[in-house]
C-alpha cells in the first residue's frame, strides 16, 4: 500500500501514546484526517469540537489533570487565530499541550485560487510565538520525525507548556518517498527533574527551625501528586501554616495548618515566608484597593522571603505574566517535587536536635489548628445565612453539592464557587481538584478535558459552571454527550457577567453615577437562557432552572445517579451574585 506523509504523522502520534485528539475539521489537514481515520483506525480517538478554542481547552484540562499531553489540531491560519487565547492560557497555566496545524500547500503551483492563498502565511506560528515554548514547520520527512520528538520533550519538560507543529498540506498528501527511522521515545524523554542545591536546603532548614512565625505559600507544587503529601510533612515538621494559592491543589483543605481564605493575620506577623512554586510573589503578600488599584505589603519589612521553583526560567519577553519583581533572601531553582521531601527530612532532623524549636513548632501547630477549626465552623454558619433565600445563596449551593457528592469519589474541575467549596468541602486527595478556574470562556472546555482524563475511573467529576462562561460556547455540551463523558455540571447561574458588573458598581459609587445603570452591558436576563433545555437538546440529563432552595438537593441526587450510569447531567441553579 502507498504510504503518505500524513501516515508518518499518525505513526508518531501512536508512538508517543497520545490518548486523544481534539479538533475542529479543516481542509488543510484533510490528509492527516484521512490517515487518522483509516490508516490509524481512529486510534487514538478524535474528539470533534465546534471551535478550535474548545479543542485546545479540552487538551488543557486533560493535561492539567494528568500532567500528560494530548493533541489538539487546528486548521491553518484561521484555526490558529481562533485558538490563540486558549494557547495563551495553556502557557500561563504551565500545561503541556501539543498543537498540530497545517498550511499551504507551500508550493504556490498547488494552491487553490483564493482560499489556499489567504489561509497560507509565511511563518504560521508567528501570532502564537510569544506564548509557545517551541514551534516548528518541518519541511522533510526526517524533520517531521525529529521535530515531533523534540516537541514532546519540550512540552513535558518543567516548566511545562504548549508547543506547535505545522505540516505542509502538500507533504501530508504526497506519497512518502523515504520512510525515516522513528526515534525511540525512551531516549527522547523530558529528563530528570531539577534538584535543589543541598547547601541552600540546609540554609532554608536553619531558617525554618529558627523562625517564630513562618508561613508557606504554595502555587504549582501540587502538579505532582507526591508534593501534596510532602508539603503536609514539611508544614507539620516546621509548624508552619500553609496558604494554598490553588494554581493546583497543594494542601488538604481540612488540615489544621491550612490558613487559605483567612491568611491575613498570619502574613502580617510573619518573620519568614517560603514560597513553593509561586509565580506571583507580590499578589499574595499585598493588600489591594480595587478602586484605586493601589497596593501595600502585608508582611513586615523585616520578614525574610525564600522561594523554591522555576521563577524566571522561560521568562516571557512579551507578556507581563512574570508579574511584579519581589526581592528574596534565598532563591532555590529546583523542582518542588524533589526539593520538598529533602527539605522536610532536614527540618525533621534540625528540629530533633533542637528541643526548644520543636516545642515552639508544636505549640504553633496547636494554636493554628484551633484557629483553623474555629474558622471552618464560622464558614459553616455563614453558609446557612439566608438559607431559604431565592435566588439561592452561593453558600447554600456549595453545601447542597457537598451533601450530594461527599459519599462519592469526586473531582471538582475548575470553579470553586467564590471559594465556598474550598471552605466547606474536604479536599483530601491531590486529584480532587486540578487547580483554580481561569478567565471567562475557559471553564467549560477545561472541565470537559478534566472529565475526559477521569473517564472510566469511577470518579464523579463535578463542574460548577458559570453562566457567562458557558454562553461563550454552549455547543461544548454536545461534546460530552457525543463522547459519552459522564460529568455533573451545576450551573452557577447569576444571570450576569457579575465580576465585571461589580467593577462597574464600585466605579459608579466612586464617581457618583447611577449604580442601577451598572447592569447595562452586564446582565444576561433578556431573555433568560434556559440551560437545562439546551442541555437536554444535546442529550444530557438536565433539570432546572431551580429557583427554590429546597429543590436543589433532590435535583442533584437525581443528576448524580444519571452520571453514575454514564450520562452527563446538568442542574441549572439560579443563584445570587455572591
- The model's pTM: 0.96
- Please, what is the average pLDDT of the chain? 95
Give me the pLDDT at residue 518, please.
Answer: 86
3-state secondary structure (DSSP) of residue 528: coil
Q: Is 464 in the same domain as 319?
A: no
Work out the angle between the directed axes of helices 355-383 and 336-352 (0-180°, nearest 10).
120
Q: Which of 326, 343, 369 is the last residue of a domain?
A: 369
Closest Cα partner for 363 from 353, 351, 375, 374?
351
Residue 66 lies in a domain: yes
Residue 60 lies in a domain: yes
Q: Is 171 in the same domain as 287?
A: no
Give me the pLDDT at residue 473, please.
Answer: 93
Give me the pLDDT at residue 426, please.
Answer: 98
Query: Between residues 500 and 331, which one has the greater pLDDT?
Result: 331
3-state secondary structure (DSSP) of residue 59: helix
3-state per-residue secondary structure call for 495-519: CECHHHHHHHHHHHHHHCCCCHHHH
Residue 238 lies in a domain: yes
The total number of structural domains that make up the chain: 3
Contact 169, 28 (CB under 8 A): yes
Residue 211 lies in a domain: yes
Return the number of other C-beta atoms located less than 10 Å from residue 43's C-beta. 11
Residue 376 lies in a domain: no
Alpha-carbon distance of 35 to 47, in angstroms, equals 15
Range of the domain at 116: 5-187
Q: Is 40 in the same domain as 181?
A: yes
- Cell 479543542 maps to which residue? 55
Q: Which of 339, 369, 399 is the last residue of a domain?
A: 369
Q: Is 282 in the same domain as 391?
A: no
Contact 25, 101 (CB under 8 A): no
Indicate whether 578 pLDDT > 80: no
Alpha-carbon distance of 489 to 568, in angstroms, equals 8
| Rounded (5°) CA angle 102-107-108 | 105
Q: Is 426 in the same domain as 537?
A: yes
Closest Cα partner for 73 from 105, 108, 111, 31?
31
Q: Is 269 in the same domain as 332?
A: yes
Which pLDDT band holds residue 118 (cuts at 50, 70, 90)? confident
Tens digit of each residue's pLDDT (9 = 90 or more) over 328-338: 999 999 999 99
Which pLDDT band holds residue 519 (cuts at 50, 70, 90)? confident
Q: Is 394 in the same domain as 346?
A: no
Give me the pLDDT at residue 252, please.
Answer: 98
Burial of residue 172, with CB atoms counted within 10 A of its CB: 0-12 exposed, 13-18 middle, 19 or more buried = buried
Tens digit of each residue's pLDDT (9 = 90 or more) over 247-266: 999 999 999 999 999 999 99
Residue 375 lies in a domain: no
CATH number assigned to the domain comprising residue 100 = 3.40.50.970
Strands 286-289 and 294-297: antiparallel
Q: Is 355 in the same domain as 394?
A: no
Tens digit of each residue's pLDDT (9 = 90 or more) over 447-486: 999 999 999 999 999 999 999 999 999 999 999 999 999 9
Tens digit of each residue's pLDDT (9 = 90 or more) over 163-220: 999 999 999 999 999 889 999 999 999 999 999 999 999 999 999 999 999 999 999 9
| Main-chain phi, psi angles of 328, to 5 degrees | -130, 155
Indicate whether 245 pLDDT > 80: yes
Alpha-carbon distance of 428 to 457, in angstroms, equals 18
Give me the pLDDT at residue 277, please.
Answer: 97
Which pLDDT band holds residue 292 (cuts at 50, 70, 90)? confident
How far from 167 is each of 31, 188, 227, 575, CA to CA, in Å? 10, 21, 38, 47
Contact 432, 412 (CB under 8 A): yes
Residue 535 lies in a domain: yes
| Rounded (5°) CA angle 523-527-532 | 100
Contact 395, 382 (CB under 8 A): yes
Give me the pLDDT at residue 499, please.
Answer: 78
Contact 524, 577 (CB under 8 A): no
How far from 237 is each of 199, 241, 429, 518, CA to CA, in Å? 19, 11, 20, 50
How far from 345 is each of 241, 254, 255, 332, CA to CA, in Å? 18, 24, 20, 17
Q: Is 304 in the same domain as 401?
A: no
Which pLDDT band holds residue 144 (cuts at 50, 70, 90)? very high
Mean per-residue pLDDT for 55-69? 97
Residues 6+ apart with CB under 8 A from 412: 421, 425, 427, 432, 433, 462, 463, 464
Tens digit of each residue's pLDDT (9 = 90 or more) over 374-423: 999 999 999 999 999 999 999 999 999 999 999 999 999 999 999 999 99
CATH number assigned to the domain comprising residue 303 = 3.40.50.1220
Query: Between residues 380 and 506, which one has the greater pLDDT?
Result: 380
Q: Is 212 in the same domain as 178?
A: no
Using DSSP, how many helices (H) and how many strands (E) does the chain show?
21, 18
Residues 6+ apart with CB under 8 A from 229: 430
Alpha-carbon distance of 280 to 323, in angstroms, equals 6
* DSSP H helices in 308-388: 336-352, 355-383
Which pLDDT band holds residue 301 (cuts at 50, 70, 90)? very high
Contact 461, 411 (CB under 8 A): yes
Alpha-carbon distance of 50 to 393, in angstroms, equals 33
Q: Which of 369, 399, 424 is the last residue of a domain?
A: 369
Residue 181 lies in a domain: yes
Q: Is 289 in the same domain as 400?
A: no
Q: Is 404 in the same domain as 552?
A: yes
Give me the pLDDT at residue 115, please.
Answer: 86
Amino acid at each position: 500500500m502507498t504510504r503518505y506523509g500524513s501516515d508518518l504523522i499518525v505513526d508518531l502520534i501512536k508512538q508517543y501514546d497520545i490518548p486523544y485528539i481534539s479538533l475542529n475539521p479543516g481542509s488543510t489537514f484533510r490528509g492527516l484526517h484521512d490517515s487518522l481515520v483509516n490508516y490509524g483506525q481512529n486510534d487514538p480517538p478524535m474528539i470533534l469540537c465546534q471551535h478550535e478554542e474548545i479543542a485546545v481547552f479540552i487538551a488543557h484540562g486533560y493535561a492539567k489533570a494528568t500532567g500528560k499531553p494530548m493533541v489538539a489540531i487546528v486548521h491553518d491560519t484561521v484555526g490558529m487565530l481562533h485558538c490563540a487565547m486558549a494557547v495563551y492560557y495553556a502557557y500561563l497555566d504551565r500545561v503541556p499541550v501539543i498543537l498540530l496545524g497545517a498550511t499551504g500547500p507551500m508550493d504556490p503551483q498547488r494552491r487553490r485560487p483564493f482560499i489556499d492563498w489567504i489561509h497560507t502565511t509565511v511563518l504560521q506560528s508567528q501570532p502564537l510565538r510569544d506564548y509557545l515554548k517551541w514551534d516548528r514547520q518541518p519541511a522533510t520527512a526526517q524533520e517531521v520525525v525529529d521535530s515531533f520528538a523534540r516537541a514532546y520533550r519540550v512540552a513535558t519538560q518543567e516548566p511545562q507548556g504548549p508547543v506547535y507543529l505545522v505540516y505542509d498540506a502538500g507533504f501530508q498528501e504526497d506519497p512518502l518517498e523515504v520512510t525515516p527511522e522513528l526515534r525511540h521515545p525512551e531516549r527522547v524523554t523530558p529528563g530528570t527533574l531539577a534538584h535543589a542545591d543541598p547547601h541552600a536546603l540546609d540554609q532554608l532548614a536553619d531558617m525554618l527551625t529558627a523562625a517564630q512565625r513562618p508561613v508557606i505559600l504554595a502555587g504549582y507544587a501540587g502538579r505532582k501528586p507526591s508534593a501534596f503529601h510532602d508539603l503536609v510533612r514539611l508544614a507539620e515538621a516546621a509548624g508552619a501554616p500553609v496558604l494554598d494559592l490553588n494554581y493546583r491543589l497543594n494542601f488538604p483543605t481540612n488540615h489544621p495548618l491550612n490558613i487559605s481564605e483567612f491568611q491575613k493575620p498570619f502574613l502580617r506577623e510573619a518573620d519568614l515566608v517560603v514560597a513553593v512554586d509561586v509565580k506571583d510573589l507580590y499578589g499574595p503578600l499585598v493588600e489591594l484597593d480595587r478602586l484605586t488599584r493601589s497596593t501595600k505589603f502585608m508582611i513586615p519589612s523585616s520578614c525574610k522571603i525564600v522561594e523554591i521553583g522555576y521563577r524566571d526560567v522561560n521568562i516571557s519577553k512579551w507578556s507581563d505574566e512574570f508579574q511584579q519583581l519581589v526581592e528574596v533572601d534565598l532563591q532555590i531553582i529546583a523542582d518542588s517535587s524533589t526539593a520538598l521531601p529533602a527539605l522536610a527530612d532536614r527540618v525533621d532532623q534540625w528540629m530533633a536536635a533542637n528541643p526548644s524549636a520543636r516545642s515552639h513548632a508544636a505549640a504553633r501547630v496547636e494554636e493554628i489548628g484551633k484557629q483553623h477549626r474555629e474558622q471552618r465552623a464560622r464558614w459553616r454558619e455563614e453558609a446557612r445565612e439566608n438559607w431559604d433565600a431565592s435566588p439561592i445563596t452561593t453558600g447554600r449551593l456549595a453545601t447542597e453539592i457537598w451533601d450530594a457528592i461527599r459519599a462519592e469519589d469526586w473531582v471538582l474541575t475548575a470553579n470553586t464557587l467564590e471559594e465556598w467549596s474550598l471552605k466547606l468541602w474536604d479536599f483530601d486527595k491531590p486529584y480532587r481538584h486540578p487547580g483554580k478556574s481561569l478567565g471567562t470562556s475557559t471553564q467549560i472546555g477545561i472541565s470537559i478535558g478534566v472529565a475526559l482524563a477521569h473517564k472510566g475511573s469511577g470518579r464523579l467529576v463535578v463542574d460548577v459552571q458559570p453562566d457567562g462562561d458557558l454562553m461563550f460556547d454552549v455547543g461544548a455540551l454536545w461534546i460530552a454527550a457525543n463522547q459519552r463523558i459522564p460529568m455533573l455540571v451545576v450551573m452557577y447561574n447569576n444571570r450576569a457577567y457579575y465580576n465585571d458588573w461589580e467593577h462597574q458598581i464600585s466605579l459608579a459609587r466612586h464617581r457618583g453615577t447611577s449604580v442601577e445603570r451598572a447592569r447595562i452591558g452586564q446582565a444576561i436576563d433578556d431573555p433568560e437562557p434556559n440551560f437545562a433545555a439546551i442541555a437536554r437538546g444535546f442529550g444530557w440529563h438536565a433539570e432546572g432552572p431551580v429557583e427554590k432552595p429546597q429543590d436543589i438537593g433532590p435535583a442533584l441526587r437525581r443528576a448524580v445517579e444519571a452520571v453514575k450510569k454514564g450520562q452527563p447531567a446538568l442542574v441549572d441553579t439560579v443563584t445570587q451574585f455572591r
